[in-house]
């Protein structure tokens, strides 16, 4: 069981940046409270559905760094590395 879990984790998160991005998305910033993103199992509907929006990398980075509408700026809340990882995660799970 444990072995299976580890294998599965490695398969899903071959890329450590994606893993950090998912952690930020789900835990640290809780983007999913407001956003729907199938890959992260989130169904928030306060902000746009990210699966449908398919935002560009620049758009995600801009929104996360500067805030947009009721969405706060995450600068100073998340580290630069976390901001990049969450943007990378959202971009790679929506723009396929
Ligand atoms: C409190 C709710 C809330 C949280 C938490 C939140 N957002 Fe948003 N987000 C919004 C809303 C609302 C909008 C639409 C703002 C507008 O267009 O006026 C938005 C817009 C966006 C956009 C689209 C920007 C654009 O240019 O259209 C992206 C991408 C995005 N959010 C990503 C994220 C990510 C990544 C996180 C986590 C770091 C996050 N959001 C956390 C509410 C939230």
Alpha-carbon distance of 11 to 8, in angstroms, equals: 5
Percentage of residues in the chain having pLDDT higher than 90: 83
Segment 3-10 mean pLDDT: 50
Segment 33-43 mean pLDDT: 97
Ligand 1 centre and the CA of 77: distance in Å?
A: 15
Ligand 1 centre and the CA of 13: distance in Å?
A: 24
For residue 90, give the ligand 1 atom closest to its CA: 35
Alpha-carbon distance of 12 to 18, in angstroms, equals: 9
Alpha-carbon distance of 64 to 58, in angstroms, equals: 10
Q: How much is the pLDDT for 96?
A: 75
Ligand 1 centre and the CA of 14: distance in Å?
A: 27
CA dihedral sign, ordered 79, 80, 85, 90: positive
Residue nearest atom 26 in ligand 1 by C-alpha distance: 59
Residue 11 has pLDDT above 60, yes or no: no
For residue 69, give the ligand 1 atom closest to its CA: 18
């Amino acid at each position: 069981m444990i072995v299976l879990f580890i294998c599965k984790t490695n398969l899903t998160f071959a890329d450590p940046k994606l893993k950090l991005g998912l952690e930020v998305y789900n835990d640290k910033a809780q983007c999913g409270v407001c956003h729907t993103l199938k890959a992260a199992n989130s169904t928030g509907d306060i902000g746009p559905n990210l699966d449908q929006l398919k935002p560009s990398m620049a758009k995600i980075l801009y929104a996360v760094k500067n805030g947009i509408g009721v969405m706060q700026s995450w600068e100073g809340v998340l580290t630069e590395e976390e901001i990049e990882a969450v943007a990378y995660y959202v971009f790679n799970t929506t723009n396929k």
